[in-house]
Amino acid sequence: MPSEKSVAPGGDKVGKALEELKATFAKEYAKANTVEGKLTLAKLLLVEAEHTTGDATVQHVMLRQAAQLAAEAGDYLVCREAVLKLESRFSGDPWPLRIETLSELSRSVRTVEDRAAVVTGALQLVEVALRADNYEAADKLASIAVAAASKGGDLSLRKLAIEQREAVRVAAKAWEEVQPAVEKLASDPSDPEANLIVGRYRAFVRRNWAAGLPLLAKGSEARLKTIALADLANPTSPEEQAKLADLWWEYAETQSGAAHAAARARATHWYVLAEPHLQGLAKTRAERRLREAGAVVDLLAIFQPKKAAYVGSWQYDGRVLVSPPEAFARVQFPYTPPEAYEVSIVVERVNNPRLLGLRPQSVFAIGLPHAAGQLLALIDVPASEPSAPPPSPKPPPGRGRGRGEDVLRDFARDLFQIRASGLASPSDDGLTLISRNEHPRALDSNRENTIVATVRPSGVSISVNGASVISYSGDLKKLSVPRQWAMPDPKRIFIGSHSGIFRVLKIEVRPLPP
């Protein structure tokens, strides 16, 4: 791959390259009048593009054709791969192609999983567009998500897409209202009133503190200016951090709506940094305000089964959540974590095959959002099956001779079998494990196990009962959730199980310093 991006070709060069491409692969194009033919050709062109490094125009045309064909065939993953390669190798405006391919996919996808992937992909790009102040692209992408979600029967997914589209339109309206101030700053960057207006939008509406704080520090509101300057000083002592948190908290009490919520969130940020190192009344105040702000969130306490997005016949009695012995069962919680956070889960593996008639080859899954999307952690995958979770449970043995021997053999095999844990990565065969770690079974049966997952922009670490099972440092953008585990909202935490029963007794989320 070239170290620098090439300029995206245009004009006659593209037309000529496309003619030559179709002539070279005439047989394949002749068969590309069916879904299978289009997808086969798309995959072929992706491979050929890897070997065509000397001619940027031909490579661009190959990747562009691969994206178009995969979109028409309704294959989200292949289309996404082609688009990402185009964006990584060629400069230019990425939004038209993103919108075009997702729009085509929203019409062509055939499975529930692919439809959910299109909606999820569109909503992820909505966030990217908003960060770039591209409200036109954000609105188009949100509308694509609504259209795709409306064609399926997942009402929670459709509701999420509609809510996101409405949020985009609210943000776009707010952005339009501050345009006079934006134009004023272009001609006079020191104007106090314009700095205040745009700063409040950046910090309170978009929660972009890096962009908002410098503007608020030059703004016309004296109290907010003082707080912003203190924040920009980036205090390092717990005492100064707690004082800054107090300033934000007290300011929030004078505000309403988005400003109140944002100022409290900023106070929470500084309380989280300071609280572990404080003592006395300062520590008590920080702890109480963190609880009041919901900084330490009990996901089971806010779980509402009738409103939840889930797959499988989960059971919840108001205290314990129980997974079904089904394939790819999963449930999502109505909470969006911050950029850096820790999830603590107390879970018990139910393992009594003599009563249940199940082979206990069960896998526990955690869907963890991050700044660029969402990743999937799998715990206790049978090491002999590295590319996928174990198959669905086999029917229980018959009641005739040998049943006890069958159960005992299966139980012993499960007890001593080497397992693997890691982060899932989609593949043609289903999924593979990244940061794969082989170990004896981590989640013991019929006892409480504590899983602690830490997510930061720089990586992910997961331990079970104090022992590390997953450790990953690197670009989280490379990680995503395979389609068979996909859930509607990539910004929310979910848990899952495959072919086994787990009793979940606690799920708590705590924000961490970035």
pLDDT of residue 358 exceeding 50: no
Closest CA to 421 of 460, 477, 383, 451: 383
Helices of type H across 178-220: 179-187, 192-200, 209-216
DSSP string spanning 241-276?
HHHHHHHHHHHHTT--HHHHHHHHHHHHHHHHHHGG
Q: Which residues of 103-137 are buried (b: 16+ CB within 10 A; e: fewer)?
A: bbbbebbeeebbbbbbbbbbbbbbbbbbeebbbeb
pLDDT of residue 409 exceeding 50: no
pLDDT at 429: 62
Whether the pTM exceeds 0.75: the reply is no
- pLDDT tens, position by position, 137-176: 999 999 999 999 888 767 777 888 898 999 899 999 999 9
More confident residue, 446 or 401: 446
The average pLDDT across 221-250 equals: 96
**Domains and their CATH numbers in the chain:** 6-176 (no CATH), 178-294 (no CATH), 309-511 (2.60.120.560)
pLDDT at 405: 46
Reported as a pLDDT band with limits 50, 70 and 90, residue 417 is low
- pLDDT tens, position by position, 309-322: 889 999 999 889 99
Mean pLDDT, the chain, whole residue set: 86
pLDDT of residue 390 exceeding 60: no
- pLDDT tens, position by position, 33-44: 999 999 999 999
Sequence length of the chain is 514
pLDDT at 115: 83
- E-strand ranges in 329-458 read 329-332, 341-350, 363-370, 373-382, 419-427, 430-439, 448-456
